[in-house]
A and B are shown apart, each in its own frame.
Chain A
Amino acid sequence: MKSHPYLRAYLGGIFVPTLVLPVILTVFIVTRIVIQVPTPIERILIFPMAIVPSLFGLWNAIWLGSHDRWHQPIGLHGAVLPLVMAPIGALVGTSLGVLQIGSHGVVWFQACSIPYAWIVPGFGAAMAAYYLVWKYVVGSLNRVLGIA
């Protein structure tokens, strides 16, 4: 299996978001219908459904293309992805009304209020989570697909 390595890298990258998307859908539907929190599901799902999988796939293809030159571990490569995704997600969220920027913090989904002081630690936690996901899930998939 030596052909189309970048296609395999893309498919390996989109695996995790594709797997998580039904979970997200379930969480937001339960939040809206069962717990009766008026979350705008249709607008919330645009970013995780249309953009996140593509970014994961492209990021894995970039790792494959640059690995021979830089030899960067895939976990660290994945940990950098929030630096790219966070501004895009915030931009999409703001333009769709999913994210409101206030004077003391941001409000996600018209329900989750996050003070500005929490954003930097939260960002570190996101990088740690991405590090683990990329090292153990995407890295394993890459080995299965014969590109790692």
Chain B
Amino acid sequence: MNADEQDRLKKLLQAALPPTAGEPEPGRGPGRDLWPAVLRKLDSKPATPWYDWALLAGLLGLAGLFPAAIPVFLYYL
């Protein structure tokens, strides 16, 4: 298949399959710059859930109440 035939086939396929809703027309990019949204998505960190904070607070409280257990915990870390 030469280049002319490939080009003709491409045009036929594009004519037979109309773009879906929201999809930009062939040869045109999206209507807005998507890169800032990608960067925001990459930079966003999931928030620490409340139960993790509760666990941390509980562990710190236990360490304060039973300081003798700290060396035992360190032995296992």
Contact = CB atoms under 8 A, between A and B. Distances in A.
A126 B55 contact: no
Nearest to A131: B55
Interface string A106-139: 0011011110001000100110110111011000
Interface on chain B toward A: helix, strand, loop, or mixed SS? helix
Contacts of B62: 125
Interface in A11-45: 16-17, 20, 23-24, 27-28, 31, 44
Interface residues of B, number: 17
Given A24-B75, A27-B74, A132 B52 contact: yes
Interface on chain A toward B: helix, strand, loop, or mixed SS? helix
B76 A128 contact: no
A31 B71 contact: yes
Interface of B: 52, 55-56, 58-59, 62, 66, 68-77
Interface of A: 16-17, 20, 23-24, 27-28, 31, 44, 47-48, 52, 82, 85-86, 89, 93, 98, 108-109, 111-114, 118, 122, 125-126, 128-129, 131-133, 135-136
